[in-house]
Structure 1
Amino acid sequence: MGKANLSKILFVMMLMLFLVLAACSGGGSEGADDSGSEEAEGGDAGSESEEADGKVYDVADFSPIKEGEPMDGGNLNFGLVSPTVFSGTLNFNFYSDAVDSEILDWFDESLLDVDETFNMNQEGAATWEVNEEGDEFTFTIRDEVNWHDGEPVTAEDWAFAIEVIADPDYDGPRYGNVTDIVGVEEYHDGEADSIEGLEIMDEKTLKMTFKQATPSLLSGGIWSYALPKHIFEDIPVADMSSSDAVRVNPIGMGPFKVESITPGESVTYSKNEDYWQGEPNLDSVTVKVIAPETVTQALETGEVDLVNSFPTDQYPDVEESLTNVEFLGRVDRSYSYVGFKLGSWDEENGKVDMDLENSKVGDVELRRAMWYAVDNDAVGERFYNGLRWNATTLIPSFYEVYHDDSIETPTYDPDTANQILDEAGYEDVNGDGFRENPDGEELVLNYASQEGGDTAEPLANYYIQSWEQIGIKVEKIDGRLLEVNDFYDRIGEQGNDDPDIDIYSAAWSVGTDVNPTNLWGPNVIFNFTRWEDEENTRLQEEGVSSEAIDLEYRQEVYSEWQEYMVDQVPAFPTVYRAELAPVNERVVNWDIRQEDQELERYEVGVTQEEPAVAE
């Protein structure tokens, strides 16, 4: 067992011992009056003097790109790190999880490209013009852009993709991505036979008219994926996501073509010689699922050349032993968070139905206290050796222009947490060490978290124990961690919220547009907290208003929104993340940045037939 793993286990054991002692001395409520000892114990648990292996890393020390001169041809083996099989919803119109997205990225792509400021440029598969008012865009798809079966990608394909998403029988999660187009809602509600804001000018030219000019239109707010109408037009919309065209024989317009799929396990691709940017360097790519527990071995032996993500908690153990790879790194677009279930999904009306009165976590003071109870600085150092760090707001530091680090947010302070709960009326009525709610009723919160990797279980236990430290009884739903697909189904990915879940831990990967509506908007299914109010809606609407085209104005709006969410606590961020990507020595021209890449997938190559293996 590596030093880092051993130290993590000792850390969790130390926390458990401390929390047991705290519970035996009267639980969290009594500790509120003791502002010294309890704070000191918690501080020691997260201090640098007890670091996991004596070293904390900094993402700034890693390069995001590996360049070189490739040989002609060759095969690349790509490891899809996942604790479970992939869902296999292989179309951008219908997919919902990041694992399927990784498979899609090899064979399909957006028609639009963005620069380092996250705004659209003219380098994509389609160029564009916009009117003076900023609400009407005319897109022209390049002549050389074709589907893998040789058919041209047309303006009709692009319009068809939007029509499918807006159809009332559509069962995917992207409806919120197209509602800004004039006439989409009327089409969705059956009040119109076509979408007014879509006009096909010619085979390659599509005009889109939006309800208003907004900065989001320039930074990823336009649905930019086409759907091959000649394949899908005879499939009922309700059946599309489960059809062979999505799950068995998907096609795209990207640099590689799908040759075969082993459901849930692997995908093989061949190069698309007709790719619009040029013939790919590689002859083929194989993508296969790799369990988080075996990713290191797969890299050591050369079974895979690179992976979609590397568990950062494993890096200290392999820094010296993985001699056949180079680690790339950057600030990730993802953040982890704890969400509180505050309602359900109104499927009939396609919106959040918040119900604070019937939620066990409907009291904002309870939610605030639970944020104060966790030490995310310690989590970042102990479980991830500094490659994750304390998060503050729901607009992550990835957005340097919009993230407001001046906002004061709850940080680890169990004394403050206890004081908040005392003042809110949460008391240990029966003397069992756990608080009842203000009505004197038993309070037990069911917690959902995903399985996967060495840290999943101890991290979930740490949060549970941290809440127990302040007298809040929390139990894993069903007494265990949930398989990833089961987890997302039960927290509401399909709209079927499990009413027994009160709290959950999840992660969110942001897009090129800072607009947070896709996770926190009133009519998006990914708003798993089911929390919404007038102020949240107002601020999100202002963030995409025509006034927000002015950068300073938009910064002010999103600063206010960040502060408002800190105050309301429908969820709280736990850690921001570094992304680490180990790349075999033979791989060149791999760029892990998802915006303003210097090198793209058709340029990736290898320098020799066989992968390098660890010495």
Structure 2
Amino acid sequence: MKKTSKWLLALMLVLLLVLAACSGGSDEETTADEPAEEGTEEGTEKDAGDEKSAEDGLVSIDDFAVDKTNSGEAIDGGTLNFGLVSDTVFEGLLHPVFYEGDPDYQVMKFFAEGLLSVDNNFNYTQDGAATWEVDEAGTTFTFTIGENVNWHDGQPVTAEDLAFAYEVIGHPEYTGIRYYAVENVVGIDEYNAGEADTISGIEIVDDKIIKITFKEANPSLLASGIWDDPLPKHIFKDIPVAEMAESDAVRVNPIGFGPFKVESIVPGESVTYTANEDYWLGAPKLDGITLKVVTPQTVVQALQTGEIDVAEPFPTAQYADAVDSLSNVEFLGQTDLAYSYIGFKLGKWDAEAGENVPDPDAKMADANLRKAMWYAVDNNAVGEQFYQGLRWAATTLIVPAFPDYHDATVEAPSYDPDEANKILDEAGYVDVDGDGLREDPDGEELVINFAAMSGDDTAEPVANYYIQAWKQVGLNVELVDGRLLEFNTFYDRVEADDEGIDIYSGAWGTGYDVDQNGLYGRAAGYNYPRYASEENDRLLEDGASEASMDVAHRQEVYKEWQQLMVDEVPVFPTLYRAEVVPVNERVTDWTIQWSLRDNAYHEVGVTQEEPVLP
């Protein structure tokens, strides 16, 4: 980053000029005052034939496929080289019960998988490692694990292993943040409080059959809302729960029942996998996979030289420059289950109570201040200038990839600095001393400390753009420690409610379940703003209730919730995302379909031993 800081600053200044031009409302430009252009099934993407896209070089996600085009027959064996794109090492929490960040997920996806499968609408199917039945009340599920589903050490995956995962997550000494995923199970509260030795809602019928009873019927129980990742009890049973996350069983010798086994790990840097010949869907075509961390700055070169065959997550900002030089790869793409956002620190996490506690005296407690900061930024221009249209201005916290629930009509703030100034003036944030920067309503100096994480070459200029945009409306926003923060450091400090952080820029992968309790519920560890309100409690409870088994009712609930988040602004979404994935031409049967991507790696092959070069 040091070597490129000068041109990044120049690029940022160019962007500021472009944004100033765009704000003039020219008929030839799509400004952030206008809704996102529609034209696809999900109503969010730009039409592939749109004249504006053809004139200004913006890219349409409609032009991408989700399945790799095979250029020949796969050979027997071979090794695939996977590039985990990150500017930092992966943390190494390599089990679903304990991991938190996407880099660790990227490492796990080749060897760890859940018992249940989903379709492209994220509803459970009967095609996974376990089948399921549900009673008429919709509260008791019976899961039958396949007889041929075994851990990598040869031990069978059992009903007791799945029950053990619930017991660990529900344990009072559990150090992870997945409790929200099991809190609907009957008896979990008593178990977590130490009032019971077992979870009464879990019944082990036999070695391969388990019944789990939930407190109430919930639409998410049929749509990716059941915890289905077992924990091998024969390995973890003698490890104290408080020490599990740091144990060798998680960090050094992790196992799963997926298509590949972990052979060796260079902590934070690389992983070597070998084929799991005993995989329940059949032996993989590949002999193995080698994963290595590559930086966003070197990923294109690594693809050009054949050092890696696949790169995920590929930095979309580099697509336009990379596509011409990477004639040896095919780019796959689709609308992502993810969004970027600006979060406001509004309280603290109470570990003893297990809930988020808002602080009415927090620096960012005034919703008017938060809303003005949303009006002050032009996210459409950011998406177009830095991501060639592969990211675009977001409006609500439910992404367009959930078309049944995303509310495209929500009245969200869009770029309007005049409105931002008006809101701030009326709320009492005025420039008292004439230096061009606003003081708080008490006339005291207002400095807003902004945490932003490092990443690809766009991270610094985008962060600086937001700082400059806020300065244009008189707000003094400064980077925490005067620099971008490394990924793990960033989330450690945000999660710990570091008092030096007032606002932060983050990103969420939403997962397959539209239920928002895991991110914004009162008891959610991932609720980093530490936001809570009675109305939020009511709507999130209703959205996950038996009444919401009626889709129309649930749609109305989440419509109200999306508007509540716009009104109260604990966070505001900045950009929706497309994901693009480059795949070397020698690779066969790579897919990014939601229904297949975690259960199809055994089908992946290569047509030749050496990578195809440009």
TM-score range, shorter chain: over 0.9
SS of the residue 1:144 aligns to: coil
CA shift for structure 1 position 72? 1.0
Equivalenced residue count is 590
Alpha carbons of structure 1 residues 124 and 50: separation in structure 2 relative to 1, 3 Å: closer
SS of the residue 2:453 aligns to: coil
Letter in structure 1 aligned against 2:74: P
SS of the residue 1:319 aligns to: helix
Q: Tell me what 2:472 maps to.
A: 469
SS of the residue 2:163 aligns to: helix
1:40 aligned to 2:24?
Answer: yes
Quote the Cα distance in structure 2 between the aligned partners of 1:536 and 1:105.
33
Deviation string, structure 1 residues 415-473 (Cα, Å, up to 9, x no partner): 01101111111110000100011111111100000001100000000000000000010
Quote the Cα distance in structure 2 between the aligned partners of 1:45 and 1:387.
17
Q: Tell me what 1:566 maps to.
A: 566
Letter in structure 2 aligned against 1:63: A
For structure 1, the 5+ residue unaligned runs are 23-36
Q: Tell me what 1:445 maps to.
A: 448
Alpha carbons of structure 1 residues 38 and 311: separation in structure 2 relative to 1, 3 Å: closer
Q: Tell me what 1:504 maps to.
A: 504
Deviation string, structure 1 residues 323-382 (Cα, Å, up to 9, x no partner): 10010100011100000000011011111011022x111100010100000000000000
1:258 aligned to 2:258?
Answer: no
Q: Tell me what 2:535 maps to.
A: 535
Quote the Cα distance in structure 2 between the aligned partners of 1:16 and 1:56.
19
1:78 aligned to 2:62?
Answer: no
- Tell me the TM-score normalized by structure 1: 0.93
CA shift for structure 1 position 53? 9.6
CA shift for structure 1 position 384? 0.3
1:375 aligned to 2:359?
Answer: no
Does the 8 A contact of 1:166 with 1:175 survive in 2?
Answer: yes
Quote the Cα distance in structure 2 between the aligned partners of 1:501 and 1:577.
26
Quote the Cα distance in structure 2 between the aligned partners of 1:448 and 1:46.
29
Q: Tell me what 2:280 maps to.
A: 276
CA shift for structure 1 position 45? 9.8
2:324 to 320, 335, 350: 320
1:489 aligned to 2:492?
Answer: yes
Aligned Cα root-mean-square deviation (Å): 2.3
CA shift for structure 1 position 220? 1.2
Does the 8 A contact of 2:77 with 2:287 survive in 1?
Answer: yes
Does the 8 A contact of 1:167 with 1:188 survive in 2?
Answer: yes
Letter in structure 1 aligned against 2:146: R
Q: Tell me what 1:395 maps to.
A: 398
CA shift for structure 1 position 134? 0.2
1:60 aligned to 2:62?
Answer: yes
Alpha carbons of structure 1 residues 356 and 390: separation in structure 2 relative to 1, 3 Å: same
Does the 8 A contact of 2:149 with 2:280 survive in 1?
Answer: yes
SS of the residue 2:189 aligns to: helix
Q: Tell me what 1:117 maps to.
A: 121
Quote the Cα distance in structure 2 between the aligned partners of 1:599 and 1:240.
27
Percent sequence identity over matched residues? Answer: 57
Q: Tell me what 1:556 maps to.
A: 556
Letter in structure 1 aligned against 2:561: W
Quote the Cα distance in structure 2 between the aligned partners of 1:9 and 1:440.
33
Alpha carbons of structure 1 residues 331 and 6: separation in structure 2 relative to 1, 3 Å: farther
1:356 aligned to 2:356?
Answer: no
Q: Tell me what 2:248 maps to.
A: 244
Alpha carbons of structure 1 residues 424 and 50: separation in structure 2 relative to 1, 3 Å: farther
Deviation string, structure 1 residues 59-100 (Cα, Å, up to 9, x no partner): 111001114331111000000000000101111111111110
CA shift for structure 1 position 14? 3.7
Quote the Cα distance in structure 2 between the aligned partners of 1:208 and 1:67.
42
SS of the residue 1:538 aligns to: helix
SS of the residue 2:297 aligns to: helix
For structure 2, the 5+ residue unaligned runs are 33-50
Quote the Cα distance in structure 2 between the aligned partners of 1:598 and 1:508.
19
- Tell me the TM-score normalized by structure 2: 0.93
Quote the Cα distance in structure 2 between the aligned partners of 1:573 and 1:365.
16
Letter in structure 2 aligned against 1:592: I
Quote the Cα distance in structure 1 between the aligned partners of 2:548 and 2:100.
29
CA shift for structure 1 position 46? 7.7
1:106 to 107, 110, 120: 110
Segment of structure 1 superposing worse, 40-49 or 424-433: 40-49
Quote the Cα distance in structure 2 between the aligned partners of 1:330 and 1:390.
16
Letter in structure 2 aligned against 1:311: P
Letter in structure 2 aligned against 1:577: R
CA shift for structure 1 position 196? 0.3
Quote the Cα distance in structure 2 between the aligned partners of 1:227 and 1:76.
28
Alpha carbons of structure 1 residues 50 and 505: separation in structure 2 relative to 1, 3 Å: farther
Does the 8 A contact of 1:7 with 1:53 survive in 2?
Answer: no
Letter in structure 2 aligned against 1:395: I
CA shift for structure 1 position 50? 12
Q: Tell me what 2:36 maps to.
A: none
1:235 aligned to 2:239?
Answer: yes
Quote the Cα distance in structure 1 between the aligned partners of 2:212 and 2:137.
13
1:168 aligned to 2:172?
Answer: yes
Quote the Cα distance in structure 1 between the aligned partners of 2:610 and 2:137.
55
SS of the residue 1:99 aligns to: helix
Does the 8 A contact of 2:522 with 2:537 survive in 1?
Answer: yes
Quote the Cα distance in structure 1 between the aligned partners of 2:323 and 2:407.
33
Quote the Cα distance in structure 1 between the aligned partners of 2:339 and 2:177.
20
1:156 to 157, 160, 181: 160
* 4+ residue runs over 3 A deviation: 5-11, 14-19, 41-54, 596-599
Quote the Cα distance in structure 1 between the aligned partners of 2:78 and 2:25.
56
1:409 aligned to 2:412?
Answer: yes
Quote the Cα distance in structure 2 between the aligned partners of 1:461 and 1:387.
20
Alpha carbons of structure 1 residues 194 and 599: separation in structure 2 relative to 1, 3 Å: closer
SS of the residue 1:66 aligns to: coil
Letter in structure 2 aligned against 1:321: S
Quote the Cα distance in structure 2 between the aligned partners of 1:53 and 1:265.
42
Does the 8 A contact of 1:106 with 1:254 survive in 2?
Answer: yes
Deviation string, structure 1 residues 518-561 (Cα, Å, up to 9, x no partner): 11111111100001000001000000100100111111110110
Does the 8 A contact of 1:337 with 1:572 survive in 2?
Answer: yes
1:309 aligned to 2:316?
Answer: no
CA shift for structure 1 position 38? 11
Deviation string, structure 1 residues 102-154 (Cα, Å, up to 9, x no partner): 11110010000111221111000000110000000000001000000110000
Alpha carbons of structure 1 residues 612 and 188: separation in structure 2 relative to 1, 3 Å: same
2:138 to 134, 143, 147: 134
Does the 8 A contact of 2:22 with 2:29 survive in 1?
Answer: no
1:424 aligned to 2:424?
Answer: no
Does the 8 A contact of 1:15 with 1:45 survive in 2?
Answer: no
Alpha carbons of structure 1 residues 44 and 54: separation in structure 2 relative to 1, 3 Å: closer
Letter in structure 2 aligned against 1:264: G
Quote the Cα distance in structure 1 between the aligned partners of 2:443 and 2:585.
62
Alpha carbons of structure 1 residues 362 and 52: separation in structure 2 relative to 1, 3 Å: farther
